[in-house]
Amino acid sequence: MENYHRGLGFRYLLDTKYHRDKPVKDDLGFLPPPPAEKSYFNAPRFPLPEPKLDLGHNLWECLRKRRSIRKYSNQPITVTDLSNLVWATQGVTEKIGRHLLRTAPSAGALYPFETYLYINNVEGLEKGFYHLHVASFSLEQLKTGEFSRELTAAALGQTMVGRAAVVFLWSAVPLRCMAKYRNRGIRYIFLDLGHVCQNLQLAATAMGMGSCPIGAFFDDELNNLLELDGVDETIVYMNPVGKL
């Protein structure tokens, strides 16, 4: 074994492999599964309008055109534009039993993440942080105000974050997935969010908007802005979107 294989990253990858002839290492004990979805019961709630799904672009064209774009104009987007973007990431497309199946796949239909939005330039919505309540396709308003500077600083100074009309921020809720898949569940959170983010990029492309996945940020600065504990729930991915 090379020395670097003993490092944290490799150890995780190797120790969470499934083998036919030996059990997976498990050091977890009982894990209480958290609720399937978070809800801020006392927050003001804004139902999103029906998404407008008859835009001209076809899938193949969007796949060909998709690019990570880091410069946006300062034109606002409409709430219907926002609804389309949100629906592309987590729109419920079928209900089976207690599962709300969505536009993006998720291991075991557990959806071990939450979606937050920083609304910066959306017509008719106050600036600030919101949480997506998937079951009701509505936004829960968490705090109002201008946070572009703090968000940009948290994202290692990447200015696209402050210029976007909306910034999607995704947290991981590890126990939702680990209660079933144990340590291997951590892999699935990142796989799941990759699908979600790709849907967002394709939707942005279809709507003539730019977007860019972001994995580089000071995690706990974002967690603090959203009042997350950074352990049982921690931001792992973000994506600003704006008009070109």
Ligand X SMILES: Cc1cc2nc3c(=O)[nH]c(=O)nc-3n(C[C@H](O)[C@H](O)[C@H](O)COP(=O)(O)O)c2cc1C
List contacts with ligand X (CB under 6 A): 67-68, 70, 158, 212-216
Separation of alpha carbons 16 and 74, rounded Å = 45
Tokens describing residue 164: 């976007």
Q: How far is the CB of 237 from ligand X (least distance, A)?
A: 7
Which of 174, 178, 196, 172 is closest to 106 using CA atoms? 196
Q: How far is the CB of 28 from ligand X (least distance, A)?
A: 26
Q: How far is the CB of 103 from ligand X (least distance, A)?
A: 18
Please say which residue, 124 or 215, places its beta carbon nearer to ligand X: 215
Residue pair 218/154 in contact (Cβ under 8 Å)? The answer is yes
Please say which residue, 125 or 236, places its beta carbon nearer to ligand X: 236
Q: Cβ atoms within 10 A of the Cβ of 35, count?
A: 8
Q: How far is the CB of 216 from ligand X (least distance, A)?
A: 3
Q: How far is the CB of 85 from ligand X (least distance, A)?
A: 17
Q: How far is the CB of 128 from ligand X (least distance, A)?
A: 23
Residue pair 191/197 in contact (Cβ under 8 Å)? The answer is no
Which of 118, 222, 131, 101 is closest to 164 using CA atoms? 118
Question: 76: phi > 0 → left, psi -120 to 50 → alpha, else beta; which?
Answer: beta
